[in-house]
Amino acid sequence: MPDQSIPEARDRARIQAGPQARAQAGAPAPEGAASDQAAPSAGRLTRRKLLGTAGATGLVLGAAGGAVGYTARPAEATPLTSLGSGQAMFHGKHQSGITQGLQACGHLVAFDLAAGAGRKEAVALLRRWSRTAERLMAGEPALQDDTDVARDAGPSSLTVTFGFGHSFFGRTGLEKQRPVSLDPLPDFSSDHLDKKRSDGDLWVQIGADDALVAFHALRALQKDAGSAARLRWQMNGFNRSPGATSHPMTARNLMGQMDGTRNPKPAEPDFDQRIFVPESGTPSWMANGSYAVVRRIRMLLDDWEKLAVKAQENVIGRRKSDGSALSGGTETTAMDLEKTDAKGNLVVPINAHARITRPDQNGGAAMLRRPFSYHDGFDADGIPDAGLLFVCWQADPVRGFVPVQRKLDRGDALSQYIRHEASGLFAVPGGAARGEYVGQRLLEG
């Protein structure tokens, strides 16, 4: 659980005025904004029309090219009244759901192609999924048999992200197009993996700031799968809602720790190099894509909560109250790994989680963490099944996730309070251009 998580949903500097407000101010609309939205069905009362303010106060995300779509932090918290008006773009250089801020609700889903289904069925499925995702992200109903679950709601910053697992390529006869970076992750000593809740041919990430909007998308995509694919596993997650705090803050996890201080920032000059496959990368269909490592990490909260706050802080290496390093300063002050106390002991313990996961302690290895918390009830002894749906993004997991996790395996103080119970690695292609579906360059290239 490296100390590199993305700020929570309301902490978005990507909040921009909608087209009406920009027009009044005399400013041009950003590239890929209103003109890129799917046209509502003629004469139909849409969710965006019902909301009324979707255009005026919405979030314009995923614009084609540049850093416009991924500013790291907002100037102010999102007003609760505008929660439904946030909108992410389906078309763009990258898929949505990677650089956007944390959303309040999420679903992670894996599918396997049905017996006998192959490349032809996969093409038809990705076409359906892309069409549905584009409509739902724009606040429109699904084309076929919409359930009306999200009626009356705006887009609510809905994002839908698609990826391919290692097994997908054999099922579709595309083994030669399978990236080397998609080779299975090595075994780690902290793994207690449930194979039934790991891997999969296809992976879908759904996020939104409204639970009904997120569920509506989940149900629509599951119905779209039809006879082509069957559900392998599905996990539900959540984060703090936009506007829940008086000022923007880094997210907290279920251990109560601030989780995300050292996440790579899009404004950094090497951000794209570390997170996205370059245009010249191989295979060519992965240009502008990324690799997602997905881990279900159970937190042993009963044991953790028995620790005094000081002991918890020593495990992490940061203050629980404000996220600052134990070596001093504020949350963003660089950690002094050599600082000692009056007795000569390191202020940041040698096995502190934040020390071990620092990029400068791992050959520069970095990943963009964008997790959801989860709670799946209690076992027979009343012990909570709760923790983190860990999702991290990188240009190459061999250089990103793997070296950091190997080092954590060798001596992370946090390891005795967490358990890795499910795992997956997925190749997430770049965004679809207008007129394309996600994965078209692989399936029809």
> Which amino acids are annotated catalytic?
259
H/E stretch holding 302 reads: helix 301-304
Q: Can you tell me which residue has the tokens 């595309």?
A: 174
- Which residue type, as a one-letter code, is found at position 51? L
Phi, psi (degrees; rounded to nearest 5) at 223: -65, -40
Strands (E) located in 10-104: 60-61, 87-88
Nearest by Cα to 101 from 11, 210, 16, 214: 11
422 near 295, Cβ under 8 Å?
yes
d(CA 358, CA 416): 20
d(CA 106, CA 298): 17
H/E stretch holding 122 reads: helix 119-137
- Which residue type, as a one-letter code, is found at position 109? V
d(CA 129, CA 147): 16
d(CA 334, CA 424): 32
71 near 170, Cβ under 8 Å?
no
Strands (E) located in 96-243: 105-113, 159-164, 202-208, 229-238
443 near 225, Cβ under 8 Å?
no
- Which residue type, as a one-letter code, is found at position 255? M
d(CA 184, CA 302): 33
d(CA 207, CA 163): 15
Phi, psi (degrees; rounded to nearest 5) at 420: -80, 115
Q: Which of left, alpha, beta for 180 (phi over 0: left; psi -120 to 50: alpha)?
A: alpha
